[in-house]
Amino acid sequence: MNSSSNSQHRISFIPGEPVHDPERTLIFLITPTYTRPTQAADMTRLSQTLQLVPDIFWIVVEDAHNSSRSVEDLLRRTNVPYAHLLGPRPPTHLDKRSGRGVSNRLRAFEWLRENYSNTTQKGVIYFADDDNAYDVRIFEEMRSTRIVSMFPVGLISTLGLSTPIVSRKSGKIIGFHDPFIGRRKFAVDMAGFAVNLQFFLSQKKATMPYKVGYEEDYFLKSLGVQIWQLEPKAENCTQVLVWHTKTKPADQPKLSLMKKVTNYTETNLPDLYNNQLEQS
Ligand SMILES: *[C@@H]1O[C@H](CO)[C@@H](O)[C@H](O)[C@H]1NC(C)=O
């Protein structure tokens, strides 16, 4: 990536509207999110990473019935094209085994099909969870994805990483090295692969199941992709450019605790607490 590409590749957009730009390959980042005390910290970090990346479209989907003002404000401040959608979990899938993030991603699939089916827009789809850490180089790696590309992810449970296994001889992916293989054909993390937009759109049955641990595997199977078609990135999967960092849960400030401070009314504390509470 050359240093001038940033300013030159800024695309014009209307907040909340899809972008159609046949000249460029856009990366469609799908970020599921939900309201919690650490959300503002995670989303701020991700949004400011994305400000460094040209030619992207950010699809942020909340697991909620009403959109959050703080998320909308953050998207408006960020200056990248975006769609702010709602994808609440259906009542039938509120249990632990259904997993978070699936309803959000399914809503993003719907939106992509509504806006890009029967277009020639060049693009790549990537699941960018809000609590991961991204080296901006990963986005240029995935931009050339023809079908499905894959790359290592750092900080994955007991192995400390998850990666495709690449044959030195052929340069092809021949298997997976991941702490959890289970019954998975594609033992990869959500952050470890990207999918060509037009390929995704051509696979009408592509979907993601409500099944913790098997979301990636079933999704890739539903795309009908074969292992020999996978494209290794990040120097034949020898570099880690994305990490599954996970933010530790934290407490929300509480007005009742503020009230333990005497004479607080003539201080900054009420405003600070109210601003924090508004974000949740
Ligand atoms: C990946 O491996 C293949 C096969 O050994 C080799 O031809 C190619 O140059 C390698 N690519 C990179 C970027 O290291």
Q: Report residue 41's pLDDT band, with 50, 70 and 90 as the boundaries.
A: very high
**Percentage above 90 pLDDT, the chain:** 80
Q: Whose structure tokens read 């990207």?
A: 194
**Residues constituting the chain:** 280
Cα-based angle 238, 244, 247 (whole degrees, multiple of 5): 155
- Counting from 1 in the atom list of ligand 1, the atom nearest the Cα of 238 is 14
Range of the domain at 259: 251-280
Establish whether residue 235 lines the binding site of ligand 1, counting it when its CB lies within 6 angstroms of any ligand atom: yes
With a threshold of 0.85, does the pTM exceed it?
Answer: yes
User: Is residue 17 in some structural domain?
Assistant: no
- CA of 266 from ligand 1 middle (Å) equals 65
Binding residues: 131
> Angle at which helices 39-50 and 69-78 pack, to 10 degrees?
20
Return the best residue to mutate from 231, 233, 236 for the ligand 1 pocket (most ligand atoms within 8 A of CB).
236
Does residue 160 share a domain with residue 178?
yes
User: Is residue 232 in some structural domain?
Assistant: yes
Number of domains in the chain: 2
pLDDT of residue 3: 37
Is 72 assigned a catalytic role?
Answer: no
Burial (CB count <10 Å: 0-12, 13-18, 19+), residue 66: exposed
Cα-based angle 39, 44, 50 (whole degrees, multiple of 5): 125
**Percentage above 70 pLDDT, the chain:** 96
Q: Rounding to the nearest 10 degrees, give the CA dihedral for residues 184, 187, 192, 198.
A: -40
Does residue 166 share a domain with residue 75?
yes
Does residue 228 share a domain with residue 115?
yes
- CA of 236 from ligand 1 middle (Å) equals 6
pLDDT of residue 252: 85
Q: Of the residues 62, 141, 216, 231, which is catalytic?
A: 216
User: Is residue 4 in some structural domain?
Assistant: no
Q: Kind and range of the H or E element at 45?
A: helix 39-50
Does residue 54 share a domain with residue 76?
yes
